[in-house]
Every structure is written in structure tokens, then in C-alpha cells.
Structure 1
Amino acid sequence: MSAFASYSTPVPTDPAVDALVAALPKVSLHCHLIGSVAAGTVAELAAKHGVPLGRSAEELYDHHSYEDLGEFLRVLDVVGSVIRDVDDFHRVTYESLTAGGAAHGVLYREIQLSPPGHPDVPYPRILEGVLAGIADARADTGVEARVVVGINRERSGADAVELVEQVVAHRVDEVLGIGLDYAEVNGPPGRFVEAFRLAGRAGLRRTAHSESGPPRHIEVLLDDLGCDRVDHGYHVVDDPAITARCVEERVPFNCTPVSSDIGRYSGSGDGTHHRIREMVDAGLVVTIDSDDPPMFGTDPTHDYRVLAHALGYGRDQLAAITRNGVEASWLDDTDKAALLARVDALVAAIPDPTDAPTEPEEAVR
């Protein structure tokens, strides 16, 4: 559990489970760069650029207030506004991938980058800093990373097209695809068909957030936007036919236990994570990540820890989720095979605390 953690539902203490989740290799497909900035870094960047925060670093992230998505997005926009120059983007990317990634066993991350969250910062400047941070994090820790560029769905379809045009015009190998974030209720997916089709023609992969919309939105993402995975998507299990389709097509769902529980998307906010259990039990391809870690008082290790306790998952079940992350990643087949081999080697060295030792035969008699 990180120093930032302040989870709303108490999590049992179990040294064996803690050791398991700390050692578990992780694949990170749903972590926003803006949302992964430590409060202390936000305060330092705000001071650097003369931006008054109106609160201390200790008070910046009020985890429990994020049951209100609007309040969370307001704070997110404040954080984005203080990340302005190449050095800033280098710093926050490096910190996210090292202290917020490799230190928790993250081997690979597809960073969710939201250029609209950085007002008046040109996309090439953002990209320059992010790519430098990725390179230095790889050199120092071995963590690998790529980029998913997020569209702000609260803006217009024309804005979305313009952003995709920027991505295509400044195409680099590290940018694998696009996403769709911010409040689903304010930006239904059908508004962004043109932007997503443009991305598809350019060979970019596609995903989108779907937290609160009806199950029908999942079909829109798959059929109209051309997405091959879904961020969140807990409501899919409300429709058996759509669930069956996603099982058959192995559509991955990138779930975030702590943030979604606080926001009451994945359940009732009581820490049971029953939606994620239903998704796994239905046979859906589920991955786990930490969304906006310090903002929700979590980290990659803690999200796995919470799930292990809530659902009773041991090493093999948690490792299967990591392997789902390899499958769901947008790496090519060669890189996926290499990443999977690393995951399997690390998992094999981890004892499973849920395996009860067998009593000696003499003791049984």
C-alpha cells in the first residue's frame, strides 16, 4: 500500500498476500499520466509556473470526494494545467514509470496521455517530454512503455478529429493508438465515429472508456468506433447477449478496482467488487490497473491486493489477469511473446499463499 493510500473500505492485513501482490509482475493498460502525478510533484510544478493551488500537497487529493466524477475531473484539470514544458512532461512520465510503475512490478505500461488536459501546450512538446521520460525510465529500470492518446469526450467531434490529425501528422512508433475519456454522460461514443475511423485508416489501435453508459455503448465502441478493447465496461454483464459476444471475441476490459469502487461504477462502493467478479466468472478477458493512482490513494500493488482480498484470488488467478494484460496489449506478436515469457518466469518463482500446506501423514492419523 502506498504512502498516499486512503481506501474507503478497510482491507485486511495479510503478510502472505502482501508479499504475493508485491512480487507479482504487472502489465498496466489503464493508467492516466495526469492522474499518476504525485501531489508533491504537482505542488512543485505549480510553484515553478506561478500557479496558485489554493491548498497544500497533503490536501490536494481528497480521495473520498471522487464519488462525484465532476469533482475528480476538476482536480484532474488542475493537475494537467501545471504540466507545461518538456522537462515537466519528462519528469511526470519518468516518475509514473519508475516510482509508480517498476517499483510495483510493472513490466510494461501503455500510458494514457490526454493532450486536451494540458491547455495551450502543443502536442509535439508534450510528446517530446513523454518520449524522453519513457527512454530514461527504460534505461534506469527496464520498464517498457508505449502511449495511448486520449480524446476528451466532453469536447466536440471536430476537436476529436483535429487531435487525431495531430497524432497522425506527428506519428511515432511509441504511440500505438487512441482512447476516449472524461464523462461518458457528456460525450456518448457515437459522437466520435469520424475521429475513430480516421485513426483506424491511419493504422492506430482504438479503445474507449465506458463506465456509466448502457451496455449498448459497448456495441457502439466495437461496431462503430472499431475498438478492440474497453476501458472499465462493468455494465457489460447487464446484457447477457453482449457479454456472450465479448467472451467469444475475447474483447479485453481494463478494470480499475479502487477508483471504480470509490466512484461506484464497479459495485456499491463497499469493496466487494462484485462486478469484476461477475465479469471474470462470465469468462471475459479482464485486466487490472490503478487508473489515477495517487489521486485515488492507491498504486498498482494495492489494486491487486484489494482484489485478492475481496475475491479470494491467489497467485494463479492474479497471474492470469497479468497474462490477460499481455494479450490485451497493443504490442506486436514478437514483443508479446517476450513479455509473456518474462511474466511466466517471475510468476513461477512466487509461492502461492492460498495453497495450504499438506499435513504429514502421521499427524492425520
Structure 2
Amino acid sequence: MTLAPFAFSTPTPHDPAIDAMVAALPKVSLHCHLIGSVAAQTVVELAAKHGVSLAGRTAEDLYDHHSYADLGEFLRVLDVVGSVIRDVDDFHRVTYESLTAGGAAHGVLYREIQLSPPGHPDVPYPRLLAGVVSGMRAARADTGIDSRLVVGINRERSGADAVALVEEVVAHRIDEVVGIGLDYAEVNGPPGRFVEAFQLAARHGLERTAHSESGPPAHIRTLLDDLGCSRVDHGYHVVDDPDITARCVAERVPFTCTPVSSDIGRYSGSGDGTHHRIREMVDAGLCVTIDSDDPPMFGTDPTHDFRVLSHALGYGRDQLAQLTFNAIDACWLDESDRRDLRARADTVVAGVPDRHTTLEDPS
């Protein structure tokens, strides 16, 4: 299926050399939500299939990118999308499209899909898992893109709900599931609530990460010390605390940053396109990776997130490639698979011409 194009929510200057460079660069995706990566046309078709009303919305106006500066509005739309993905075929389809048209077509070599079972409240976890894994395997067979799953806990629910979800993940454990995450609104679910669930995941050999986009820097210490996270999703506020920054540099804690969505959501700056928080994190020596979060919902894609950083921060080939190599270091593959992924990325980067840019005034 050919997905309909959409207008980018973050306009950038037209520069064919930069466009060619960012399109050709290899990418490794550690922060992309399955629900948030569903193309608008697919949502419309699945809604019709299951008799779900979209209140008159069409594929052209389903996603109102800039309204997602309000996290609550974004999460409401996200829940609508989750409600139309119901059977094995649906999960196969959205996974396959996300990994192919939304991944391999942009040079993504590997993705750790953030999967949110609570976003599909009426779908049994085994059914969801069967469809997603089927889509993953088909995408790999057709395009070569490799992938794994990170199961997300909805932090707006109770700690007991989180434990129950981890227990279900353990009960249906498969090789494709490599870890757990923590998402939804941080203000409604401080990380300390989920210590028991994360400790249970650790006992069963699952890796751990968590979103921390709007909380205080001290939340990062909780993620590392109490939840045992080996990386942090977003985490832009880390640079507000020199001591925590120094610790994360020394321990090489990865931060999975998402330039376009975080700029719209005002997490990584003031929404002015400067991406100054990501610059500060990189300049501080933190291990920063780049991904596109919920791509069609925020009017972006893996190539476009690289493009905006190239224009805003003046990053050329080597700086952008380093973000990919950081993601390879941070991914949850075993050492042999990680070496193979690094070799693939090295080969691709060697064939990409450099294009140094200069910092432009986004105004």
C-alpha cells in the first residue's frame, strides 16, 4: 500500500544537498510508538472496518499537529487511534506499514517498537502480540529492517496495573520482547509509583526505560536508581542539574530525543525550532539518540527529524551519523547483533557525501 504524503509540521529551508544527505544516512529507531506511527488513511480505513466514528474527521484533518502542544489533546487522539486497531490483521498491518513506509524507506535499519497494550483496552495481549510479531517478520522479510518490542506501561494507571502488565509480558515471553517502558503524562504518574513493576521486569531479564519529558531532573535519578533504567526517553531537563548531567555523562546513559514532537510539545525548548536543549545535551557530552516519536501525528518522519537538526544545529554527516552510532550502542540487541548492525551502518555512512551546514536563524 502507498501511504498518502502529508505536510511537515516543521518547515525547513529547501536545500537539496542536505535533503539527499539526511535521506541517505542510516538510522536506528529507539523511540517510536506503534499507535503514534499509524498513517491517517489507515486510521480512517480501520475505523470504517470496525464502525468507529471519527466525528467527521478525514485523513486530511485527522491529525492536527500543532494542537499537540497540549499533551492532553494528543493523548485523546492517540486513544482514538488505539481503539480502531483490534484484530490480528490490524496489528499486522500497522506494524508492517510503520516498519516499511515509516522505517526502511527512510534508511531505518533497526527499530525497537514502543508498544502500549493499555492503549488497546479491549484487545487481549496474546492477540495483539501475534499481529505485531507477524508484521515485524513480514517487514524484515520484505525490506531487511530488524525490530524488537518494548512494552509500555501507562503511568496514569496504578502501580498494581503496571505489575499486572509485566506479569502478562512474562507469562507470554517471546524473544522479540526485550524490555518495558513507561509512557503517558509524567505529571500524572511519577516514576516512584512503578518500582515494583520495574523490579519484577528486572528479575525476568527485561531491559527498562521510561519517559521523562516534563518532570524535574530528580526524576532521572529515580529512573536510574530505583527503576533500574538503562536509558531515558526524552530527558531534556537533565541539563538543568549539573550533578545529574555529570553522572549521566560518566555512565553514558542514553537519551532518546525526538526533535519535532518535543519542539511542538515544548519539552525540548520554546517551540521555536532552535532545538537548543538537544544542542546543550550533545555539547555536554551526553549520549543522545534521535527518533521521531509519533511520526504522522506530529507531521514528521525519520528523515525529517534529521533534516531539522541539520538546519537548526548545523550538523553535517559525521555529527548526524554519530547520533545513529549512539543508538546502536544504546539498543537492546546482543553484542553479536549489535556488531553486525554497526557494520551495516558504517558501510552506509561511508557512501554518504558530507554536507556541512551553518547555523541558521530560524526566525
- Deviation track 1:195-222 (CA, whole Å, cap 9, x = no partner) reads 0000000000000000000000000000
- Deviation track 1:160-200 (CA, whole Å, cap 9, x = no partner) reads 00000000000000000000000000000000000000000
- Deviation track 1:225-282 (CA, whole Å, cap 9, x = no partner) reads 0000000000000000000000000000000000000000000100000000000000
1:206-221 equivalences under 5 Å are: 206-221=208-223
State the shift of 1:355 in Å.
8.6
Look up the match of 1:19: 20
TM-score (norm 2): 0.96
1:47-86 equivalences under 5 Å are: 47-54=48-55, 55-86=57-88
Q: Distance in 2 between matches of 1:165 and 1:11?
A: 45
Look up the match of 1:262: 264
Specify the SS of the correspondent of 1:225: coil
Q: Which amino acid aligns with 2:161?
A: D
Look up the match of 1:293: 295
State the shift of 1:120 in Å.
1.1
**Percentage identity across aligned positions?**
81
Look up the match of 2:36: 35
Pair 1:237 & 2:221 matched: no
Asked if the contact 2:310–2:357 (Cα under 8 Å) also holds between the matched residues in 1, the reply is no
Q: Distance in 2 between matches of 1:5 and 1:321?
A: 25
Q: Which amino acid aligns with 2:276?
A: H
Specify the SS of the correspondent of 1:253: strand
Q: Distance in 2 between matches of 1:355 and 1:297?
A: 24
State the shift of 1:3 in Å.
2.5
Q: Which amino acid aligns with 2:252?
A: R
Larger Rg: 1
Q: Which amino acid aligns with 1:213?
A: G
Asked if the contact 1:6–1:63 (Cα under 8 Å) also holds between the matched residues in 2, the reply is no
Q: After TM superposition, what 4+ stretches of structure 1 lie above 6 angstroms from structure 2?
A: none
Q: Distance in 2 between matches of 1:240 and 1:309?
A: 28
Structure 1 pair 355–49 and aligned structure 2 pair: CA distance change class (3 A): closer
Q: Distance in 1 between matches of 2:5 and 2:268?
A: 24
Q: Distance in 1 between matches of 2:352 and 2:44?
A: 38
Specify the SS of the correspondent of 2:340: helix
Specify the SS of the correspondent of 2:102: coil
TM-score (norm 1): 0.96
Look up the match of 1:170: 172
Asked if the contact 1:209–1:231 (Cα under 8 Å) also holds between the matched residues in 2, the reply is yes
Q: 5+ unaligned residues in a row in structure 1: which ranges?
A: 357-365
Specify the SS of the correspondent of 1:206: strand
Asked if the contact 1:5–1:296 (Cα under 8 Å) also holds between the matched residues in 2, the reply is no
- Deviation track 1:45-98 (CA, whole Å, cap 9, x = no partner) reads 000000011111111000010000000000000000000000000000000000
1:173-322 equivalences under 5 Å are: 173-322=175-324
Q: Which amino acid aligns with 1:37?
A: V
Asked if the contact 1:208–1:230 (Cα under 8 Å) also holds between the matched residues in 2, the reply is yes
| Matched positions, count | 354
Q: Distance in 1 between matches of 2:344 and 2:29?
A: 15
1:97-108 equivalences under 5 Å are: 97-108=99-110
